[in-house]
Chains A and B, each alone.
Chain A
Amino acid sequence: NAGVTQTPKFRVLKTGQSMTLLCAQDMNHEYMYWYRQDPGMGLRLIHYSVGEGTTAKGEVPDGYNVSRLKKQNFLLGLESAAPSQTSVYFCASRAGSPLHFGNGTRLTVT
């Protein structure tokens, strides 16, 4: 039982490049979330999903897109990366109340 797995762990992009971050959970959770963590800002919600095939915007959705084609996977896409998207990205999932987090993806955009 791996819990919440994020890939890749690290990535460096040039401005304008695109990439997809993958989140996979093996706990059969309905709810999945993408957060970004920046120094002094805490965790800010980007997008979330309440079930397979659904997505919704969070607090800071601009510049990101998501898809939940399968219940166990939640993809976060950056179509045209900007330096302001340099951050640590965390995926989380839940069935009831507590969120279970992955170990993060550190993304640097130069």
Chain B
Amino acid sequence: GQQLNQSPQSMFIQEGEDVSMNCTSSSIFNTWLWYKQDPGEGPVLLIALYKAGELTSNGRLTAQFGITRKDSFLNISASIPSDVGIYFCAGQGGGSEKLVFGKGTKLTVNP
């Protein structure tokens, strides 16, 4: 089946630093989504991407849908302690009812 490779698995950074994480796939996707999960809660949508090459921002977060449609990245600028959590990418192929999730990037921000 389809698989997503998400990296890095974990990151330990200082407050104020920028963060970058990415996902790659062996399959083409029509939609890329980025979610954040806080401890004890369900994932919450951060950014949705629907077109190859699309670059979308949400506050300090920026995500891009790769031109090949097989990858996406998420950047967080000027990190703050509340950015701590697990970030998941997810992809959806054309005509599929299912989303495929990456294994997550666990972000720790040291004040």
Contact = CB atoms under 8 A, between A and B. Distances in A.
Interface string B30-65: 010101000011111100101000000000000000
B104 interface: yes
Contacts of A4: 42
Nearest to B98: A45
B50 A50 contact: no
B40 A103 contact: yes
Contacts of B101: 35, 42-44
Bin the interface of chain B by size. 20 to 34
A75 to B, nearest CB: 18
B1 A48 contact: no
Q: Is the interface of A mostly helix, strand, loop or mixed?
A: strand
Contacts of B98: 33, 45, 48, 58
A101 B33 contact: no
Contacts of A44: 101
A69 interface: no
A90 B42 contact: yes
Contacts of B41: 103-104
Given A58-B98, A92-B42, A98-B33, 19 more contacts: A4-B42, A35-B101, A42-B6, A42-B88, A42-B101, A42-B102, A43-B101, A50-B97, A56-B97, A90-B43, A97-B50, A98-B45, A99-B33, A99-B45, A101-B44, A102-B42, A103-B40, A103-B41, A104-B42
Interface of A: 4, 31, 33, 35, 40-45, 48, 50, 56, 58-59, 90, 92, 97-104
Interface of B: 1, 6, 9, 31, 33, 35, 40-45, 48, 50, 88, 90, 92, 97-99, 101-104
**What are the 6 tightest A-B residue pairs by CB atom distance, in nearest-first order?**
A101-B42, A42-B103, A43-B101, A98-B45, A103-B42, A42-B101
